[in-house]
Amino acid sequence: MADIFVSYSRQDRARVAPLVAALEAQGWSVWWDPEISPGEEFDTLISRELEAARTLIVVWTPLSVDSRWVRGEARDAADRGVLVPVRFDNARMPIDFRALHATDLDGWSGDHAHPAFLGLCKALEAKLGAARPAAGMAPRKSPQVSICVLPFANMSGDPEQEYFSDGITEDIITDLGKVSALSVVSRNLAFSFKGATGGMADIGRQAHASHVLVGSVRKAGERVRITAQLIDASRDAQVWGERYDRDLNDIFALQDEISKAIVSALKLTLLPAEKQALEQRATSNAEAYRLYLMARQFWLRDNERNNEIVIRICRHVVQLDPNYAQAWATMALAQWNLFWQADLAYEDLEYPARRALELGPHLADSHAAWSATLRSVGKFGEALEAARRALELEPKSYVANRLAGLSCMGLRHYDQAIGYLEVAADSMESDFTATSIIVQACEARNDTTRVRAAAERAMKRIEKIVAEDPGHGRAIGFGVSMLVTLGERERAMEWATRAHLIDPDNANLQYNLACAMSVLGEYDRALAILQDVAEQSSPGMLSWMESDSDLDPIRDDPRYAAMIASARERLARKKEGQPA
């Protein structure tokens, strides 16, 4: 993890290099794009480094202010509260950044004692939360050993077993994260190297990790074989390696053994509480664990067609182990998605979320499940509070940040929504939902500078998903909205037709199409689609329809008011036990 990411125009490289050198001399680690190796995927690496860096310096010059890449990186950092601007040549900054103080470096020639440079260091200390070393002292070094756990390769000969090897990897990342003396690269950053062909030294440098763990998983029947190697990235040399061939029922003891072996190889000392934490497992039932990993993988694919599969698997899991809190939470999250499309009783939705909270009050997923339950009936304020409780336990939680962002959208708190949704989008490379809703939030607050870049990022993810799964209705629905935003009207209409034919009974998909038509100005078509949605809407769906900014263009149409009133009457009759 770099302390500082430097965003600048490549044409200014000669004047940026002394600034980077001066910052590194103060003890801060700095990333800037000359570190990109030939053949590396530019966008992927930039995204990794942006996510990992603790703060961002944007170098405004007459050249960089015209760069949409620099403006996009600066906007991302400003929204996350980690932006530190500097300026050369009295550059006229983009209008949406002029309210931010920028350190003027026109009179600076590399002097570490120059007032302007000292002012910049003070601004960085405020963002990074740590003072720089005194003059003459050695550069600041992190006291922690750092490790990047690469996704374990699936060697089972069955691509469908990928969920199991990914689950093993995630659990090892979670386990090692409990060791206070060890800095662990985030799951998203680690998984961005999946399938990478570079050497371990290159991966360690890119991930800012001193060590890299690589391995493989082969599952055959009731046997599992795991190989693992710990590499010192600075020397590209193995410091530990082992192969384990065990019964599947030994999987939990095996994970403990691997984590403790890594800690030992790194010559770290486990505190008593950390040793106990490593030995704690959500379940002791190997079959329940395997099925839970499968359900979780289906849920993360974010396709509504998978929700019934997830619920069915999780119901079987909690039969095997009724105290498996994570399985109850995942069931609740899947039911939350179904609740928007069907008349699932609130009590049925509430039970698994409450059960998850009872069994796992220490789990972020349990509180996120309760947030989803509250949001499903339009209680956006209470849902936000529950999501925040989840984030106190796990600040980078994908699902908790996504739910916090969606709850803020329901409350029309767009600045807060963007902050949460950005964390969700950055923590899950395959996410397109949070990434797409960022676009809507930017549009709602008239942030035209950022809208297009955000839509391009979302569309890039959507196109990748649809290429792999042409029937992914949710991704196609959001894709229509992104194409509308990008001004690709004809392609948007083609995708809308495709979506309707692929999944005509998916109310959530149809709702997203109605939103896209509303933004596009196709008001009659939007109202026609929305009429069908309103006739089968749940209370939560109706609450969302009434708060969604995408529908503002048709909000005053009498037809909209009539369909909302009719839906309210239908739900009131149902609540009183009368025929709907």
Q: What is the pLDDT of residues 5-14, one digit of tens each?
A: 999 987 888 7
CA distance 153 to 169: 9
For range 506-531, the mean pLDDT? 84
What are the tens digits of pLDDT across the range 446-468?
Answer: 888 788 888 999 999 999 999 98
User: Does residue 217 share a domain with residue 154?
Assistant: yes
User: Does residue 306 share a domain with residue 269?
Assistant: no
Using the predicted structure, report yes or no on whether residue 295 has a pLDDT greater than 50.
yes
128, 154, 169 - which closes a domain = 128
Using the predicted structure, report yes or no on whether residue 357 has a pLDDT greater than 70.
yes
266, 281, 296 - which closes a domain = 281
User: Does residue 60 share a domain with residue 101?
Assistant: yes
Confidence of residue 346 (pLDDT cuts 50, 70, 90): low
At 579 the pLDDT is 58
> Please, what's the largest Cα pairwise distance for the chain?
81
The answer to whether residue 76 is domain-embedded is: yes
Instruction: Tell me the sheet residues that pair with 231.
Output: 212, 238
Tokens (6 digits) for 258: 């691997």
Using the predicted structure, report yes or no on whether residue 132 has a pLDDT greater than 60.
no
Using the predicted structure, report yes or no on whether residue 36 has a pLDDT greater than 50.
no
User: Does residue 190 share a domain with residue 66?
Assistant: no
The answer to whether residue 534 is domain-embedded is: yes
pTM, full prediction? 0.67
User: What's the CATH code of the domain at 356?
Assistant: 1.25.40.10
CB 169 within 8 A of CB 290: no
What are the tens digits of pLDDT across the range 59-108?
Answer: 999 889 888 888 888 888 887 778 999 999 888 888 878 777 888 898 88
Listed residue (73, 233, 75, 211) closest to 148, CA to CA: 211
User: Does residue 461 share a domain with residue 382?
Assistant: no
Can you state the angle between helices 364-375 and 398-411, rounded to 10 degrees? 30
The answer to whether residue 138 is domain-embedded is: no
Confidence of residue 248 (pLDDT cuts 50, 70, 90): confident
Listed residue (235, 180, 178, 181) closest to 210, CA to CA: 235
Tell which wins on pLDDT, 500 or 174.
174
In the chain, the amino acid numbered 566 is: S
User: Does residue 417 share a domain with residue 291?
Assistant: yes
Average pLDDT score over the chain: 84
The answer to whether residue 133 is domain-embedded is: no
User: Does residue 296 share a domain with residue 426?
Assistant: yes
Using the predicted structure, report yes or no on whether residue 43 has a pLDDT greater than 60.
no
User: Does residue 295 share a domain with residue 277?
Assistant: no
Tokens (6 digits) for 478: 């959001």
Number of domains in the chain: 4
At 134 the pLDDT is 45
| Sign for the pseudo-dihedral over CA of 234, 238, 242, 243 | positive
* H or E element at residue 104: strand 103-104
CB 89 within 8 A of CB 104: no
User: What's the CATH code of the domain at 42?
Assistant: 3.40.50.10140
CA distance 518 to 502: 21
Confidence of residue 349 (pLDDT cuts 50, 70, 90): confident
User: Does residue 199 share a domain with residue 166?
Assistant: yes
CA 334 to chain centre: 18
**How many CA atoms lie less than 13 Å away from 300 in the CB half-sphere?**
18
The answer to whether residue 139 is domain-embedded is: no
User: Does residue 401 share a domain with residue 370?
Assistant: yes
Domain of residue 247, residue span: 145-281
What are the tens digits of pLDDT across the range 483-514?
Answer: 989 999 889 888 888 877 877 777 777 788 88
Question: What does DSSP say about strands 223-232 and 211-220: parallel, antiparallel, or unpaired?
Answer: antiparallel
Residue 501 CA: distances (Å) to CA of 471, 488, 510, 536? 10, 20, 11, 19
* H or E element at residue 238: strand 237-247
Confidence of residue 35 (pLDDT cuts 50, 70, 90): very low
> What secondary structure letter does DSSP report for 130?
S
Q: Counting beta carbons within 10 angstroms of the beta carbon of residue 344, is it exposed (0 to 12), middle (13 to 18) or buried (19 or more)?
A: middle
The answer to whether residue 388 is domain-embedded is: yes
What are the tens digits of pLDDT across the range 419-440?
Answer: 889 888 887 888 999 999 999 8
User: What's the CATH code of the domain at 474?
Assistant: 1.25.40
User: Does residue 55 share a domain with residue 34?
Assistant: yes
Residue found by looking up tokens 């008593």 in the block: 272
Tell which wins on pLDDT, 35 or 237.
237
Confidence of residue 58 (pLDDT cuts 50, 70, 90): very high
CB 429 within 8 A of CB 191: yes
User: What's the CATH code of the domain at 238?
Assistant: 3.40.50.10070
User: Does residue 406 share a domain with residue 334?
Assistant: yes
399, 431, 463 - which closes a domain = 431
Residue found by looking up tokens 């720089």 in the block: 132
At 344 the pLDDT is 60
> What secondary structure letter does DSSP report for 305?
G
* H or E element at residue 422: helix 414-427
